[in-house]
């Protein structure tokens, strides 16, 4: 179907399919709506601020924690089919006709080869990053994968990915907020300031009631960041730039100090579980790469999105990969990977290694500060991105209009930002979601698959549209992204897939009974 002139697109909704589920939103209309006075956001971000947003989201506490966990592996008290990786389950069913061989007592250790896991995950993410960069340069609109899906795949796919992104952002930030509370409580105790467990612990953790009333530090950090985000994107970006500088400084300090404590013998055996350990390690550390896609949520507040968004996405991926690999190589050269199986060594491997090997207290303090700022900046960027997703969905009628209201003075989606605050802060005060954090992984990988598919479809549907950045070797690079991200999804556990399907089913119910009836395509029917 030929596209109407741009002026016509900005005046009315054009149905691209007789079935509302598969109606795609015009890119020209998306851009025109973003410039409406009541919905216009302030454009203040440049390329380096966008890169810092990406680094702020990608490098959180994971670089100081998950490196040791993935290297040492994970061990469960009893095997369970719910903790089985979907890939192993399928292979055992095909080969042996049963699931017995797939029941896992844990995830095999990657050992020092976790550095290879980081590189492989970065390799997979880089193809998805190129796809995000192309679509972001074509569709410089808030909403990230949600908006791209609406423009390429249709309304039902847009809703699914939008609902999926809500899950990704909420779950990951609840996990980080709870982690921040535990970390700050432990560090204050070292200085003689003891926070009561009644007000500094989740009410429910590990499936049991803890006796706590509320996890106040977890809620307060989200509340304080919300005040900053409502105040303005420029102020938020400046604060993030400072925090990114601090945590990069902490990482570089560790690389220098830890590098002098490396014993090459600790790198042997390099891959104790072979390639299986490398792949499993990749599934664990993928969580640390979540965030580069949040750069695209800043599209409407970017001064030159066609040029700066691709730069921010790709630059943040490159910088973070170098830092991740460096930390992995140094940490596992300092101590044997088996050290980080449990206890304090598993909870804070970087700080533990420095302490055990006699590093000066000053350097350990630098790492602690870096870990805390890493968590805070990650929370800041994800809360920012979450509000922009809700803002975009509301503007399209899929969520109530309250979510797309813009503050008359600060030019930020203030209601979305405050709702995001309580959607994360209250659960962070009540529960420790534990292994449910894997939901962030599956949600992000699913978004990557749809964005990569969107690049292929837009190249076929609108080959003439200007692209400030182009993915090379289409359709092969997007197809590689789809295969790699789909493969990583099969490395996640059965319980993660069940939770994901339940969440999507709930979302489809909301779409059927509310969003479908309030969509602009429903209003344009007939």
> pLDDT of 274-295, one tens digit each?
887 887 788 778 767 777 778 8
Q: Give the pair of three-digit tokens for residue 517.
A: 């009836």
Claim to verify: residue 172 and residue 81 sit in the same structural domain: no
Residue 412 within any structural domain of the chain = yes
Sorting pLDDT into bands at 50, 70 and 90, what band is 348? confident
Task: Say what percent of the chain tops pLDDT 90.
Answer: 38
* Average pLDDT for 201-214: 84
Claim to verify: residue 310 and residue 161 sit in the same structural domain: yes
Claim to verify: residue 416 and residue 491 sit in the same structural domain: yes
| Domain count within the chain | 2
* Average pLDDT for 511-517: 93
Claim to verify: residue 18 and residue 146 sit in the same structural domain: yes
Claim to verify: residue 493 and residue 477 sit in the same structural domain: yes
Residue at a domain's end among 65, 86, 107:
107
Claim to verify: residue 472 and residue 386 sit in the same structural domain: yes
451: helix, strand or coil: helix
pLDDT at 1: 39
pLDDT at 5: 41
Residue 159 within any structural domain of the chain = yes
CA–CA separation, 369 vs 373, rounded Å?
Answer: 6
Query: Over 70: is that where the pLDDT of 143 sits?
Result: yes
Claim to verify: residue 246 and residue 339 sit in the same structural domain: yes
Report whether 304 contacts 144 (CB < 8 A): no
Query: Over 60: is that where the pLDDT of 103 sits?
Result: no
pLDDT at 423: 94
Claim to verify: residue 220 and residue 262 sit in the same structural domain: yes
Handedness of CA 32, 35, 36, 39 (dihedral sign): positive
Q: Give the pair of three-digit tokens for residue 430.
A: 């009540």
Claim to verify: residue 376 and residue 314 sit in the same structural domain: yes
Residue at a domain's end among 107, 124, 155:
107
Comparing 63-77, 189-203, 205-219, the range with the smallest average pLDDT is 63-77
Q: Is the peptide bond before 269 cis (omega within 30 degrees of 0)?
A: yes
Residue at a domain's end among 63, 84, 107:
107
Claim to verify: residue 94 and residue 123 sit in the same structural domain: no
> pLDDT of 387-419, one tens digit each?
999 999 998 899 999 999 999 888 899 999 999
pLDDT at 319: 93
Helices (H), 396-413: none
CA–CA separation, 227 vs 414, rounded Å?
Answer: 10
* Average pLDDT for 423-438: 81
Backbone φ, ψ for residue 248 (5° rounding): -65, -40
Handedness of CA 371, 377, 383, 386 (dihedral sign): negative
In the block, tokens 């209601």 appear at: 415
Q: Give the pair of three-digit tokens for residue 365.
A: 């303090």
Query: Over 70: is that where the pLDDT of 459 sits?
Result: yes
Residue 394, domain extent: 6-73+108-523
Query: Over 70: is that where the pLDDT of 75 sits?
Result: no
Cα distance from N-terminal residue to C-terminal residue, the chain: 17
Query: Over 80: is that where the pLDDT of 95 sits?
Result: no
pLDDT at 10: 41
CA–CA separation, 366 vs 258, rounded Å?
Answer: 13
What CATH number should be reported for the domain holding residue 138?
A: 1.20.1740.10
Q: Give the pair of three-digit tokens for residue 49.
A: 């601020």
The percent helix, strand, coil of the chain (3-state, each to 5) is 70, 5, 25
Comparing 145-154, 250-259, 337-346, 511-520, the range with the smallest average pLDDT is 337-346
pLDDT at 102: 58
Strands (E), 184-269: 204-205, 208-209
Query: Over 90: is that where the pLDDT of 453 sits?
Result: yes
Residue 287 within any structural domain of the chain = yes
Mean pLDDT, all residues of the chain: 85
Who wins on pLDDT, 207 or 303?
303
Q: Give the pair of three-digit tokens for residue 111.
A: 């050992």
Residue 1 within any structural domain of the chain = no
Nearest to 283 by CA among 454, 104, 504, 146: 104
Report whether 389 contacts 161 (CB < 8 A): no
Report whether 136 contacts 296 (CB < 8 A): yes
pLDDT at 78: 54
Nearest to 143 by CA among 295, 28, 23, 20: 295
Cβ neighbourhood burial of 80 (10 Å; 0-12, 13-18, 19+): middle
For 463-513, what is the HEC assignment?
A: CCCCCCCCCCCCCHHHHHHHHHHHHHHHCCEHHHHHHHHHHHHHHHHHHHH
Q: Is the peptide bond before 428 cis (omega within 30 degrees of 0)?
A: no
> pLDDT of 4-15, one tens digit each?
444 343 445 666
Claim to verify: residue 69 and residue 84 sit in the same structural domain: no
Q: Give the pair of three-digit tokens for residue 398.
A: 């899929």
pLDDT at 321: 93
Query: Over 90: is that where the pLDDT of 2 sits?
Result: no
* Average pLDDT for 446-463: 92
Claim to verify: residue 102 and residue 137 sit in the same structural domain: no
> pLDDT of 305-336, one tens digit each?
888 888 998 899 999 999 999 999 999 999 99
């Amino acid at each position: 179907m030929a596209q109407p002139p741009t002026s016509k697109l900005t005046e009315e909704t054009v149905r691209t399919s007789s079935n509302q589920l598969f109606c795609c939103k015009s890119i020209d209309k998306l851009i025109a709506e973003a410039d409406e006075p009541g919905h216009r956001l302030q454009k203040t971000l440049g390329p380096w601020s966008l890169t810092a947003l990406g680094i702020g989201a990608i490098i959180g506490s994971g670089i100081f924690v998950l490196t040791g966990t993935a290297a040492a592996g994970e061990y469960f008290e009893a095997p369970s089919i719910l903790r089985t990786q979907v890939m192993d389950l399928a292979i055992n069913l095909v080969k042996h006709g049963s699931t017995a061989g797939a029941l896992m007592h844990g995830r095999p250790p990657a050992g020092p080869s976790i550095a290879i896991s980081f590189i492989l995950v970065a390799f997979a993410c880089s193809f998805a990053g190129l796809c995000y960069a192309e679509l972001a340069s074509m569709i410089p609109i808030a909403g990230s994968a949600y908006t791209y899906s609406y423009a390429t795949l249709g309304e039902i796919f847009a809703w699914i990915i939008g609902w999926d992104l809500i899950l990704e952002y909420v779950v990951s930030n609840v996990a980080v907020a709870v982690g921040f509370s535990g970390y700050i409580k432990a560090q204050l105790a070292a200085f003689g300031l003891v926070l009561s467990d009644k007000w500094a612990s989740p009410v429910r953790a590990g499936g049991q009631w803890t006796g706590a009333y509320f996890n106040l530090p977890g809620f307060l950090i989200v509340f304080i960041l919300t005040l900053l985000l409502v105040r303005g994107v420029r102020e938020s970006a400046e604060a993030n730039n400072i925090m990114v500088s601090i945590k990069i400084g902490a990482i570089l300090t560790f690389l220098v100090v830890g590098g002098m404590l490396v014993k090459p013998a600790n790198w042997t055996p390099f891959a104790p579980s072979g390639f299986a350990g490398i792949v499993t390690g990749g599934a664990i550390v993928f969580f640390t790469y979540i965030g580069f896609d949040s750069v695209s949520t800043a599209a409407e507040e970017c001064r030159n999105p066609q040029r700066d968004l691709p730069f921010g996405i790709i630059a943040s991926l490159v910088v973070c990969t170098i830092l991740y690999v460096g930390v992995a190589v140094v940490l596992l050269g300092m101590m044997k990977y088996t050290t980080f199986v449990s206890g304090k060594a598993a909870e804070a491997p970087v700080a533990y290694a420095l302490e055990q090997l006699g590093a000066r207290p000053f350097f350990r303090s630098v790492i602690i500060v870096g870990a805390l700022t890493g968590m805070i900046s990650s929370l800041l960027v994800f809360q920012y991105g979450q509000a922009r997703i809700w803002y975009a969905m509301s503007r399209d009628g899929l969520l109530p209009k309250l979510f797309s209201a813009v503050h008359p003075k600060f030019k930020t989606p203030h209601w979305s930002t405050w709702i995001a605050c309580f959607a994360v802060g209250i659960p962070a005060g009540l529960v420790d979601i534990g292994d449910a954090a894997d939901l962030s992984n599956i949600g992000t990988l699913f978004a990557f698959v749809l964005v990569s598919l969107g690049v292929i479809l837009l190249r076929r549907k609108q080959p003439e549209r200007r692209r400030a950045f182009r993915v090379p070797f289409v359709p092969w690079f997007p197809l590689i992204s789809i295969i790699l991200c789909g493969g990583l999804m099969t490395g996640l556990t059965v319980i993660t897939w069940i939770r994901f399907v339940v969440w999507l089913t709930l979302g489809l119910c909301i779409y059927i009974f509310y969003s479908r009836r309030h969509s602009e395509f429903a209003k344009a029917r007939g």
